[in-house]
Amino acid sequence: MKKSRISYICKGLGIAVLIGCLSFAAHAHDDYDPANYNDVFEPPETVHRSAHVNPPLFENSSEKLDFLLTATPAYLWLAYEFSKTFEGLEPTYFLGGLVGGYLMADLASGIGHIITDSLDPEIFPESLADVFRGAQDHHKEPLDVYDTSLWANNKKYHVGAYLALGAATLLHLYGYDVPAEILCGVTALNMWTGLTHLIGHGGYKDYRVVRGLQALGLLITQKEHHGHHGGNFDRNFCVISGLMNPLLNTAYDATRATRGYAARIFRGFRECLGFGA
Ligand SMILES: [Zn+2]
Ligand SMILES: [Zn+2]
């Protein structure tokens, strides 16, 4: 009993130290000048909402109900999985899992972004095709992220979270507590990728906590995300903290030839099987 209380205190202190260390280790984004990014972030004529007006969490009461029904079981499940690792792991491993989850979440957001930017939407069933279309149309109208409520923007990630939560439960079942915790961190943060992406477009910048986390390097900035929109859409795919962008950019460049070859194989199969034509 006494030992477990000490373990709880250690974990609590560890989390505080961890946040502090991450803050110092992360590069500060204090040289951001909005004037440099206006060309990409100015609203096109067709955008319904005026630029930089924060979208509401819900557009109407049916969205609220939808949120309760869709998200509540996922959060309860997530809390249960987190509590299992909190109870079962030594402080060092628990904290390692949190850091790993935080970093891997950013990487996962980048890998997901590469996939949605690259594949032809028409080869998917209609409901999934919309996700790919949305990602690719966003390149043409960057401020379309202001068009929908936060929930409408993040619902698809909540639905996808159930697959990841199933995998986390399996990992726990086979005793892989640290990987399960990392996966839970990845899941929890990626459920709100639509929000962090919006923040990368200047959303919620009137909130002190957003500006603070950005200054600490822990949350995506407009400057970081502009690296994606301001170039050829082949950089800075990560949209949670952006900390993993240097790694993913390098991997993306290194696999350019392989990706080209994989695309040819994919096209070949598509021709042979006649799907998506
Ligand atoms: Zn993109
Ligand atoms: Zn964007």
- pLDDT, tens digit (0-9, with 9 covering 90-100), for 227-251: 999 888 999 999 999 999 999 999 9
**Count of the separate structural domains present in the chain:** 1
Q: How far is the C-alpha of 210 from the C-alpha of 30, rounded, in Å?
A: 13
Is the pLDDT at 20 greater than 80? The verdict is no
Task: Report, as an integer, the average pLDDT of 49-77.
Answer: 89
Q: How far is the C-alpha of 153 from the C-alpha of 208, rounded, in Å?
A: 23
Is the pLDDT at 40 greater than 70? The verdict is no
CA 4–ligand 2 middle distance (angstroms):
45
Residue of 268 and 245 predicted with greater confidence: 245
Closest CA to 81 of 198, 206, 183: 183
The residue segments making up the domain with residue 222 are 2-273
Closest CA to 202 of 33, 24, 27, 19: 33
Give 26: exposed, middle or buried? Use CB within 10 Å, 0-12, 13-18, 19+: middle
Structure confidence at residue 276 (pLDDT): 56
Q: How far is the C-alpha of 52 from the C-alpha of 230, rounded, in Å?
A: 18
CA 134–ligand 1 middle distance (angstroms):
10
Residue of 49 and 268 predicted with greater confidence: 268
Read off the pTM. Answer: 0.79
Task: Report, as an integer, the average pLDDT of 196-222.
Answer: 93
CA 142–ligand 1 middle distance (angstroms):
10
Q: How far is the C-alpha of 211 from the C-alpha of 79, rounded, in Å?
A: 27
- Nearest ligand to the C-alpha of residue 118? 1
Percent residues over pLDDT 90 in the chain: 59
Grouping H, G, I as helix, E, B as strand and the rest as coil, residue 72 is helix
